[in-house]
Amino acid sequence: MNTRPDALADTEGDACYLALKTRDARFDGAFFTAVMSTGIYCRPVCRVRLPRRENCRFYRHAAQAEAAGFRPCLRCRPELAPRAGGAPAWSTEDASRILARQAARLMDEPELWSDDADAQPGPLVGRMAERLGVSDRHLRRLFEAEFGVSPLQYLQTRRLLAAKQLLADTRLPVAEVARASGFGSVRRFNAAFAERYDLNPRELRRAREGDGEGDAGGASLTVRLGFRPPYDLATLHGFLGRRALAGVERLDADGRFVRTVRIGAQTGWLALRFDLAASQVRLTLGESLAPVLPILASRVRALLDLDADPAAIHAVLGPHFPAAEGLRVPGTLDGFELAVRAVLGQQITVAAARTLGSRLVQALGEPIATPIDGLDRLFPTPAALAAADGETLGRLGLVRQRQAALHALAEAVLDGRLALHAGADPQRTCAALQALPGIGAWTAQYIAMRALRWPDAFPAGDIALQKALGVTQARAAEAASQAWRPWRSYAVLAAWHGLAAPTSSKDPS
């Protein structure tokens, strides 16, 4: 077995071992424990007998453990763990880390996730490098420095763990599992699975069937997604519920969140339900979305902010927002949809923005059949919005300035000038957004906070935010926010929800 030096140093390893003893879910996904005597790597929450310290190696990422020759545990299932937390790369001055993290996030995009790049590695890395504006050689070097593995090793681990989850939690045929997890053929999938895990995919499925796990088949699939506690579910539900658009989404009284979904050519529906005791979310989706399930799962993680590290965030914000521990910044399943909703919400109340959004959905959204009452529309596409004339939009209550902003936004997305996803550079994207007519700093920062997943976004000009902070100018709000970096997006949510005392009783400027 390869014991390459990309394991954590002894001092960090000793700290990880102490955390491993507690089996505390707050450390889930922060590191993985590889056991030399078994050749297996586990999550910190695994319930197996504690291994001896001298037999343990610790890795920040599952891909590192697999590159070193370890196989994932079939009991704790590393594929369920939240992704590594900690301070975001773009909160530092290190441009190399920024690019490496952006490259990792780009792997959640459909055109990079599932193609024949495992057979022809060059094009994949080349496309990623082109999107980031660097050479593929430079990208490989930066990626390996940040993650300890190459981009292809990282993506291969992501694909195999996604396939492992589909085999364990669903009854999808192996051929569909291979396609959904990004492999160009069943033969390559079987070979990669056997080489990395020393197990045939069908053998894994039979083993999990013996445990009585997996969905019951039929017209829907269910998988589980982990997160680190604590989780402020009441605030998240309140945020999503107040903004739910008729026909597209709904928060039920029992806490189930349902909505329609479009990912590429695939459309369907999903339902989300939290299990706080198990630190998991149950994602149920219509079978039409099975081909894009790994991508959808990643977007649900962003929507619910499941990869946040509450301990790291609270260490910075706790003194200022003591009641905000476990707060999450809601993301989105589709960046364009979020941007449209942000434009609709400019200078009006949340309720008014929801009314405009619901009208837009009914007028331009594609009908869809779902088994959930009232869920019958998809959010309008960029093409549909770009083609809508002023008379149609005017009847919905949209003034000309807002119409111009929506048309410009749709056209910028259609022609590729604007990318609205977590792999996009937040500062450059904010600049591009503000160059469009009718989109100002507040809207750009709000889009960066939710669609780009920028944890340090800060709409300083927001009146409600200024009021919560006890200031009257954007400059004063910006000054007050410096102590909250790199987690200002979370501070904004805390202030909006009244989870902190004002910074001062009057404008200090």
Q: What is the pLDDT of residues 344-395, one digit of tens each?
A: 999 899 999 999 999 999 999 999 999 999 999 999 999 999 999 999 999 9
Give the tokens for residue 63. Answer: 């891909």
Q: Are 208 and 215 in contact (CB under 8 A)?
A: no
pLDDT, residue 84, reads 76
Q: Count CB neighbours of 426 within 10 A.
A: 24
Cα distance between the two ends of the chain: 62
* Statement: residue 187 has pLDDT above 50: yes
* Statement: residue 165 has pLDDT above 90: yes
DSSP summary character for residue 226: E
Q: Is residue 221 part of a domain?
A: no
Give the tokens for residue 472. Answer: 């009257």
Instruction: Give the pLDDT band (50/70/90) at residue 123.
Output: confident
On whether both 102 and 197 belong to a single domain, the answer is yes
pLDDT, residue 214, reads 54
Non-local CB neighbours of 269 within 8 Å, separated by 6+ positions: 258, 259, 260, 261, 285, 286, 289, 368, 370, 371, 372, 375
* Statement: residue 495 has pLDDT above 80: yes
On whether both 113 and 190 belong to a single domain, the answer is yes
- The catalytic residue positions are 42, 462
Q: Tell me how far apart the alpha carbons of residues 479 and 218 are, in angstroms, rounded to a whole number.
A: 55
On whether both 96 and 130 belong to a single domain, the answer is yes
Q: Is residue 357 part of a domain?
A: no
Q: Among candidates 439, 369, 445, 367, which has minimal Cα distance to 401?
A: 439
Q: Is residue 380 part of a domain?
A: no
Q: Tell me how far apart the alpha carbons of residues 231 and 233 are, in angstroms, rounded to a whole number.
A: 6
Count of the separate structural domains present in the chain:
2
On whether both 162 and 70 belong to a single domain, the answer is no
- pLDDT tens for 290-341 read 999 999 999 999 999 999 999 999 999 999 999 999 999 999 999 999 999 9
Domain boundary among 147, 180, 210: 210
The pTM assigned to this predicted structure is 0.91
Bridge partner residues of 40 (DSSP):
35, 71
pLDDT, residue 207, reads 66
* Statement: residue 210 has pLDDT above 60: no
On whether both 176 and 129 belong to a single domain, the answer is yes
Q: Is residue 48 part of a domain?
A: yes
Q: Is residue 342 part of a domain?
A: no
Q: Are 7 and 57 in contact (CB under 8 A)?
A: yes
Q: Are 181 and 294 in contact (CB under 8 A)?
A: yes
Q: Is residue 267 part of a domain?
A: no
